[in-house]
Chain A
Amino acid sequence: MEYFIQQLINGLTLGGMYALIALGYTMVYGVIQLINFAHGEFFAAGGYIGAIVLAYFAGVGYMESHPIICLTASFMIAMAYCAYLAIGVEKIAYKPLRKQSRLSALLSALGMSIFLSNGMMLTQGVYDAIYPSELFQGRFDFGMISVSYLQVTIVTLTAALLVGLNILVFKTKIGMAMRATAQDKTMSALVAISSNRIISLTFAIGAGLAASAGIMYGLYYGSVKYDMGFVPGIKAFAAAVLGGIGNITGAMLGGLIIGMVEIFGAGYISGEYKDVFAFIILIAVLYFKPTGIMGENIDDTRV
């Protein structure tokens, strides 16, 4: 039982990260019906920027005196950087292809993913970028179960970001414009919503969330690598599909489920095949219920 609860907590931590990445996929898909293959690279870039900024602060010496401020600043900088990156990527690789066939946009996205991950490799080197480990040393112990401060921080931060996103999308004017664009671009343009601006904004928000997940990943596992975006990216996509692509609440739920399944699969079935479980869920969902658990009916040309 203790083992079960321990795994549940680990799953929650991992699932939260997947949910943050999955949101980017699902939002972009909702607005322009494109699988943004480069999204995993935004996640990796966020992790790198976090590592760079934290290392810089440690070098300057702020890290010992104000660790909380440094961490907050690194989150802010990484999220801003990835949002900035995503807007540029969208303008270069996706916007000119919006009227072309789906296959062209998909191939362009794939090319962008390869380009970005190799760009990171060339600028940062092929070795892992190390995160400082002394930030969150302590842990709470409840008998056999132990929860590290880091896990608490990650889960809290994830929850805060998810709530913030929900407020943004469902309670503000900008969110309303985003939902309108996702439903009908022509009609929303008629009521003076600039769809280009909304698409850029969607990319920026999605990439910002992915960047925050990247830093959490780096803190949790201790290091980041240039090609780390690929596998979590696919898993997060599986989460987005599981929740019903285009559906924000669904992506959050899907991310948690994928994280749980991975942790429990690794804990109870086989650790070596832990990456397989997410793929099997993805295939099973697409086969039996392509709309996902919370999805509405989607255009039948897609599935």
Chain B
Amino acid sequence: MIQEFKKVIKSYVIGMLWLLGLLWPMLGIHPDGTLTFQKTVTVWSYIVAGSFVCLLIYVMKNSGALDFVAKPLAGVSSNLKSASNTLPTWVWIVVILVAACLYPQFTNRYATDVAINVLLYICLGLGLNVVVGLAGMLDLGYIAFYGVGAYTYALLNTVYGVGFWFSLPACALTACIAGCIVGYPTLRMRGDYLAIVTLGFGEIIRLILNNWMSVTNGPNGILGIDRISWFRFVFEDGMTFEHMWVKKLQLFYYFALGLAVFTAIGVNRLNYSRVGRAWESIREDETAAELMGVNTFIYKLLAYAMGAVFAGLAGAFFAARMKFVSPESFTFLESAMVLCMVVLGGMGSIPGIILGVMALIALPEVFREFEAYRMLVFGATMIIMMLFRPAGLIPAKRMGTRSEEKEG
């Protein structure tokens, strides 16, 4: 154990000295021809202190020195687990739904706004999960379909005056068509090539939105999109419909909640259907799946299109909430952020993704002062998750291991 500890400390010291060497040129060389060390050393010492604490906890946990804390904690968590298992799953779902329904009644406007954001990202995360988690294809251009959905509603509404609910199927349809157009040529590739090509397509769609001035109004975006309207009967002279604009944020929250629940149910049903099993077989071993008679191309295209449909629906809600769309909302960083949520929560696991979204959207709102470090933390989270817990916070329940992992 001492030997191991020495090894860890040695690599830690080397790593920290290496970091100092990296930081100094960026922080210590000034254009006025002076060299300073103070700022570098300050930043560095913060990092050293923070990481040393983490390292100490990690080493102590591995060596068993923290057993007096870890044992009771493990006991508590296993008790919780058994307690949660005694209650059927639907009870938990009902509890969570009730909590979600009551949430806006007890919070202010700002908190509701954040919650709407969380719900839309849950939708996006679950949609991406179909592609990445279920079918095992890394998609880096996912946010483009969100953009397609948002622009479809924006254009239908501002140019043709179509209402929200009539636009919604159209948004799903255009996103689906976009998914098929992108998916058709790309899905013959696998793994990392697929990732880079989807990234390319995502950028192409964004560039089209940015440059097609006559239709999308380019970088200025589209203003004045209507809110969600809903219809009610009016019985004055004969039966007619009249629409009411949803002004209150709370009502919008409930619509977004409905969308998130719809997505969660949809993804869950897909997962346990014949299609879901086909996806799983493709994810585990594509060649074997093809040999067993799974039409891999069609199923991959289907996964891609399904993911795009959920993104398109979320996009329509996004446009209705912001009342404004511009290509800037659909950059690669957004894609990476959604992917980070899926990875953090656990690929293929619905509760995991919900947790991941909450962690990455709601927590930064709590730590507002550290806003600038947000993307830095996202990047670091992705690396750390991959190094220490590749299956995510709440790993998906699945049998066996991936064939790739076994090969080594």
Taking a contact as CB atoms under 8 Å apart, the answer to whether A122 and B373 are in contact is: yes
What B residues does A279 contact at CB under 8 A?
200-201, 203-204
* Given A93-B383, A287-B188, residue A273 in contact with residue B211 (CB < 8 A): yes
Taking a contact as CB atoms under 8 Å apart, the answer to whether A111 and B201 are in contact is: no
Taking a contact as CB atoms under 8 Å apart, the answer to whether A106 and B195 are in contact is: yes
What B residues does A114 contact at CB under 8 A?
333, 336, 375-376, 378-379, 382
Taking a contact as CB atoms under 8 Å apart, the answer to whether B379 and A113 are in contact is: yes
- A96: Cβ under 8 A from any B Cβ: yes
What A residues does B29 contact at CB under 8 A?
52-53, 56
- A203: Cβ under 8 A from any B Cβ: no
Q: Which of A61, A100, A111, A273 contacts B383 (CB 8 A)?
A: A111
A46 to chain B minimum Cβ distance, whole angstroms, is 11
- A261: Cβ under 8 A from any B Cβ: no
Taking a contact as CB atoms under 8 Å apart, the answer to whether B195 and A96 are in contact is: no
Q: Quick one: CB contact mask for A98-113 with B, threshold 8 Å, 1 for yes?
A: 0111111111101111
- B369: Cβ under 8 A from any A Cβ: no
- A251: Cβ under 8 A from any B Cβ: no
- B380: Cβ under 8 A from any A Cβ: yes
- Which A-B residue pairs are the 8 nearest by beta carbons? A59-B33, A111-B382, A115-B379, A114-B379, A55-B31, A279-B200, A60-B33, A108-B386
- B193: Cβ under 8 A from any A Cβ: yes
Which one of B23, B207, B373 has the highest number of Cβ atoms from chain A below 10 Å of its Cβ? B207
- B236: Cβ under 8 A from any A Cβ: no
Taking a contact as CB atoms under 8 Å apart, the answer to whether A59 and B30 are in contact is: yes
Q: Which of A91, A116, A123, A231 contacts B27 (CB 8 A)?
A: A123
Q: Which of A9-17, A81-89, A142-150 contacts B (4 or more CB under 8 A)?
A: A81-89
- A141: Cβ under 8 A from any B Cβ: no
Taking a contact as CB atoms under 8 Å apart, the answer to whether A283 and B200 are in contact is: yes
Taking a contact as CB atoms under 8 Å apart, the answer to whether B18 and A88 are in contact is: yes
- A124: Cβ under 8 A from any B Cβ: yes
- A264: Cβ under 8 A from any B Cβ: no
B332, closest chain A residue (CB): A230
- B197: Cβ under 8 A from any A Cβ: yes
Q: Which of A34, A49, A108, A282 contacts B25 (CB 8 A)?
A: A49
A107 to chain B minimum Cβ distance, whole angstroms, is 5
A271 to chain B minimum Cβ distance, whole angstroms, is 10
Taking a contact as CB atoms under 8 Å apart, the answer to whether B196 and A111 are in contact is: no
What B residues does A91 contact at CB under 8 A?
15
Taken together as a complex, chains A and B put the C-alpha atoms of A101 and B382 apart, in Å, by: 15
- A169: Cβ under 8 A from any B Cβ: no
* Given A59-B31, A59-B34, A102-B192, residue A110 in contact with residue B339 (CB < 8 A): yes
A62-104, CB < 8 A from B: 77, 81, 84-85, 88, 91-93, 96-97, 99-104
* Given A49-B25, A114-B379, A120-B26, residue A101 in contact with residue B340 (CB < 8 A): no
Taken together as a complex, chains A and B put the C-alpha atoms of A102 and B196 apart, in Å, by: 14
Show 26 A/B contacts (Cβ-Cβ < 8 Å), sorted by A. Answer: A35-B192, A35-B196, A49-B25, A52-B26, A53-B25, A53-B29, A55-B30, A59-B34, A88-B22, A104-B386, A105-B386, A107-B138, A108-B386, A111-B340, A111-B382, A114-B379, A118-B373, A118-B376, A120-B26, A234-B196, A238-B200, A273-B211, A279-B201, A286-B186, A287-B188, A301-B191
Q: Which of B33, B138, B140, B192 contacts A56 (CB 8 A)?
A: B33
Taking a contact as CB atoms under 8 Å apart, the answer to whether A101 and B200 are in contact is: no
What B residues does A160 contact at CB under 8 A?
none
What B residues does A192 contact at CB under 8 A?
none
* Given A96-B387, A118-B379, residue A234 in contact with residue B199 (CB < 8 A): yes
A61, closest chain B residue (CB): B33
Taken together as a complex, chains A and B put the C-alpha atoms of A134 and B198 apart, in Å, by: 41
Taking a contact as CB atoms under 8 Å apart, the answer to whether B343 and A59 are in contact is: no
Taking a contact as CB atoms under 8 Å apart, the answer to whether B191 and A103 are in contact is: yes
What A residues does B189 contact at CB under 8 A?
286, 290, 303
Taken together as a complex, chains A and B put the C-alpha atoms of A81 and B136 apart, in Å, by: 37
What A residues does B30 contact at CB under 8 A?
55-56, 59
Which one of A52, A107, A113 has the highest number of Cβ atoms from chain B below 10 Å of its Cβ? A107
Taken together as a complex, chains A and B put the C-alpha atoms of A107 and B340 apart, in Å, by: 9
* Given A88-B22, A279-B203, A283-B197, residue A111 in contact with residue B379 (CB < 8 A): yes
- B372: Cβ under 8 A from any A Cβ: yes
Taking a contact as CB atoms under 8 Å apart, the answer to whether A123 and B26 are in contact is: yes
What B residues does A302 contact at CB under 8 A?
190-193
Taken together as a complex, chains A and B put the C-alpha atoms of A179 and B255 apart, in Å, by: 59
Taken together as a complex, chains A and B put the C-alpha atoms of A118 and B376 apart, in Å, by: 5
B335, closest chain A residue (CB): A110
Chain A interface main SS type: helix
- A276: Cβ under 8 A from any B Cβ: yes
A48 to chain B minimum Cβ distance, whole angstroms, is 7
- B381: Cβ under 8 A from any A Cβ: yes
A54, closest chain B residue (CB): B31
Taken together as a complex, chains A and B put the C-alpha atoms of A273 and B185 apart, in Å, by: 21
What B residues does A53 contact at CB under 8 A?
25, 29
Taking a contact as CB atoms under 8 Å apart, the answer to whether A97 and B387 are in contact is: yes
- A237: Cβ under 8 A from any B Cβ: yes
Taking a contact as CB atoms under 8 Å apart, the answer to whether B383 and A282 are in contact is: no
A272, closest chain B residue (CB): B211
- A58: Cβ under 8 A from any B Cβ: yes
Q: Quick one: CB contact mask for B196-225 with A, threshold 8 Å, 1 for yes?
A: 110111011001001100000000000000
- B32: Cβ under 8 A from any A Cβ: yes
What A residues does B27 contact at CB under 8 A?
123
- B109: Cβ under 8 A from any A Cβ: no
B318-352, CB < 8 A from A: 332-333, 336, 339-340, 343
- B390: Cβ under 8 A from any A Cβ: yes
B67 to chain A minimum Cβ distance, whole angstroms, is 26
Taking a contact as CB atoms under 8 Å apart, the answer to whether B18 and A103 are in contact is: no
A262 to chain B minimum Cβ distance, whole angstroms, is 13
What B residues does A286 contact at CB under 8 A?
186, 189, 193, 197
Taking a contact as CB atoms under 8 Å apart, the answer to whether A112 and B383 are in contact is: yes
* Given A108-B387, A111-B380, residue A303 in contact with residue B190 (CB < 8 A): yes
What B residues does A123 contact at CB under 8 A?
23, 26-27
* Given A111-B382, A115-B380, A118-B379, residue A84 in contact with residue B31 (CB < 8 A): no
Taking a contact as CB atoms under 8 Å apart, the answer to whether A107 and B343 are in contact is: yes
- A267: Cβ under 8 A from any B Cβ: no
Q: Quick one: CB contact mask for A159-183 with B, threshold 8 Å, 1 for yes?
A: 0000000000000000000000000
Taking a contact as CB atoms under 8 Å apart, the answer to whether B343 and A84 are in contact is: no
What A residues does B50 contact at CB under 8 A?
none
What B residues does A35 contact at CB under 8 A?
192, 195-196
